Chains A and B, each alone.
Chain A
Amino acid sequence: MDEIFAIAHSLWKRLLAAKVVYFLTLCAIALIGITKMYDVLMIGESRNLMVDTAFMLITVASMLTVISLAFDIPKELQSGIASVLLAKPLGRTHYLIGKLVGISWVAMFIATLISIGFLIIYGVTYGAPSASMIKALILVIFSIIPMASVVLFFSSFLNEAVAATISTIAIWFGYMLFAMNGFTVYDLSVFNMSAEAFYDDNITNMYLLKAAFSAVLTGISMVCFTSFIFNKRDL
C-alpha cells in the first residue's frame, strides 16, 4: 500500500505544484460568477446559466486533469523513469493503481475547489443551494474515477498524443453509453445529474451510494484489464 501512495503522492505533488492549476481554477470560478451578468440576455434565466456553466466547467476541469495522465505515463515509459521505478519491488499493477489514485486525488481536489467557489457564488446570488445540487456536484466528483481509469487504460499502451486523443473521445462518448443500457465497462451518464440539480429533483442518498460503488467497480475492472496489457509490455 505504501508504494501505491508513494506513486500517488509523487504525481499529486507534481501536478499541484503547478501554479497554472490554481490560476485556471480561479478563472473557472470567475466565469461562473460572470454568468449573473447574462440575466437580460437569458431573459431572467441566469440562474439556469450559472448552474449549467458550473457543472460544465467542473466536468471539463476534471476531464482535463485526468487526461494529463495520458501524457504522464507514456512520458515516464519513454524517458526511463518507469524503468527505474519498476526495477524496485513495485508491481506493475501497483504502479497503475498509484497513478490512478494520484490523478483521481488531483482531479477531485480541483473539482472540489471549483464546486466550493460555485456554491458560495450561488448562495450569495440566489440563496442556499438545494440538497440535490450538492449531491449532483458530488456525483460529478465521483465520475473522476471512471474517467481516470479509462485514461489509464489507453495510456498504458499508446503514446502521449494518441492516448490523450482517444481518451478524450472515450470519455466524451462515455456519457452516451446509457444507450447500451448498462452493458458496458464504464458508463458516465449515471454521474450526470445536472438537470436534476437545477430542477431540485430528489436525488436520493441511495443513488449517490450506488453511483460511488459503480465508480469504484469501474476503476477496479479497468485496472485489472489494464494490468493484463501493461504486464505483458516490454519497458
Chain B
Amino acid sequence: MKKSNIIKVIILLLALGLNVKTLKSLHAEQVVINADRPKISKLPLASFHKFWADIQWMLMIQHMGSIDLTTEQNSKELYSEANTIIDLDPGFYKAYEISSLMLSAKKPQFAINLLKRGQASVHTTNDWRLYSMAGNIRQQEIFFNKGPDNLTKLRESIEFYREALNKPGVISVLEKSFIKSLAQERFESKGDKLLISELQEWFKHLSQSNYMNGEGEHGNSTEGYMSVSEEVKSELLSLIQKIKQEHPNDSKGRAISDKVIKALFKDIHICFRCFHEYHKGDKYCNECSKPVKIFGVCSSPDCAKVIRGHKFCEHCGKHVVKPKRRK
C-alpha cells in the first residue's frame, strides 16, 4: 500500500472516531438546551419541522374558519391537525390555546389532552394559561353535563388551578375560581355549606400563601395580620355578609367570619354591620349608626377624652391603659 494511502486511512479513522464522539456530545447537549427535542416528530422533513408546523397551522386556521359548528367529525380532524402541529413544534403555544378552545365544547377531553401536552413541553410548561384553560374546560364540562364523574372532574380542575397559581405571571382573578372550586368540592363530597366552605378555603389559601404576617395599614408589623388586595378584601367581606344573612346561627360561619375579620382588620376598627372604618372616640358608626366599641380615649371615667399618646393622658395626666393585642 502506498504511503499516501496509509496516511489517508489513518486520517480517516481519526476523523471518524473524533466525529462520532463529538456528535454524541452534541446530541446530549441538544437535550440539555432544549428538552423538547426528543419529542419532535420523526417525519423526514430535513430541518423544516418548525416551518412545516407553521404551514400546518395556517391550514388549520383556514379549516377552523370554514367550520360553523364543531361536530364529532370535524373535532376529530381538528384534534389530529393540532397534534400534527404539536408533534412538529412542541413549543407552539397558540396551537394549544386555539385548538383547545375550539374543541372544548364538543370534545373537552381532546382539549384537555392538548393542554396536557402543552404543560409537558419545556417551552410552555410555565405558562399558567394552559392550566387555567384546562381547569375552566373541566368546570364548563361540569356545568353543562351533570354526570356521575363530576366530582372527579372537579378535583381535576382544582389541580389545574393549583398548578396555574404556582406559575409566574398568573392573574389574581384565578384565585377566585380556585377557591370556588375547592368550596364546591367540599360541598359535593362532605356536604359542607358552600359559602362557609368558600370563606374557610379563602382563609386557608391566604394563610398558606404567606399573606399572613404582613404589615398593618398603620405601619405596624403584627403577627396574624393578612395583607391582601382590595379586590380580595372586598370578596371576603361580601362573603362574610352573605354568611351572616343566610346562615346567621351557624357557629362555624361566625367563627370563620370573626377569624377573617380579625386577620384583615388587625389594627383597623370597623363596624361589624357595614364594615366601615370608625376612628378614635367614635361611639357610633358614621355610616350605619350602629354602636361601635370605643377606642383611643382615656380610661378614666372622669376624663374619657380622645388621647394622642400611649402612656399618659394629656388631659388628666393619668396612666393610659395600653390596648390589648388581638390574637
- Point out residues on A near B: beta carbons under 8 Å: 38, 41-45, 48-49, 52-53, 55-56, 59, 93, 171-176, 178-179, 181-185, 187-196, 198-199, 201-204, 206-207, 210-211, 213-214, 217-218, 220-221, 224-225, 227-228
Contact = CB atoms under 8 A, between A and B. Distances in A.
Contacts of B98: 43
B20 A182 contact: yes
A69 B58 CA distance: 36
A179 B41 CA distance: 11
Contacts of A49: 54
Contacts of A224: 8-9, 11-12, 15
Q: Is the interface of B mostly helix, strand, loop or mixed?
A: helix
Contacts of B40: 195
B46 A172 contact: yes
B50 A198 contact: yes
A179 B50 contact: no
Nearest to A176: B44
B252 interface: no
B8 A228 contact: yes
Nearest to B11: A224
Contacts of B18: 213, 217
Nearest to A218: B19
B33 A207 contact: yes
A194 B33 contact: no
B51 A52 contact: yes
Rank and list the top 3 A-B pairs by shortest CB-CB distance, nearest first. Answer: A192-B47, A182-B23, A224-B12
B34 A190 contact: no
A31 B224 CA distance: 63
Contacts of B36: 195
Given A59-B46, A220-B11, A190 B23 contact: yes
Given A38-B58, A59-B48, A173-B44, A195 B34 contact: yes
Nearest to B91: A199
A98 to B, nearest CB: 17
17 contacts: A42-B57, A43-B98, A52-B53, A182-B27, A184-B20, A185-B19, A187-B23, A194-B50, A195-B34, A195-B49, A195-B91, A201-B33, A204-B29, A207-B30, A210-B25, A217-B22, A228-B8
Given A175-B45, A176-B42, A210-B22, 14 more contacts: A42-B57, A44-B94, A45-B57, A52-B50, A53-B51, A55-B47, A175-B47, A185-B16, A191-B47, A194-B50, A195-B49, A199-B91, A206-B29, A217-B18
Interface string B99-124: 00000000000000000000000010
Given A196-B33, A225-B12, A171 B54 contact: no
Interface residues of B, number: 44
B54 A42 contact: yes
B54 A207 contact: no
B210 interface: no
B26 A190 contact: yes
Nearest to B98: A43
A195 B54 contact: no
A55 to B, nearest CB: 7
A44 B36 CA distance: 23
Interface string B64-103: 0000000000000000000000000101101000100000
A28 to B, nearest CB: 14
B26 to A, nearest CB: 4
B228 interface: no
Contact of A52 (B5, B29, B54): B54
Contacts of B23: 182, 184, 187, 190, 214
Contact of B44 (A172, A187, A193, A203): A172
B135 to A, nearest CB: 23
A84 to B, nearest CB: 23
B34 A199 contact: yes
Given A179-B42, A195-B91, A42 B58 contact: yes
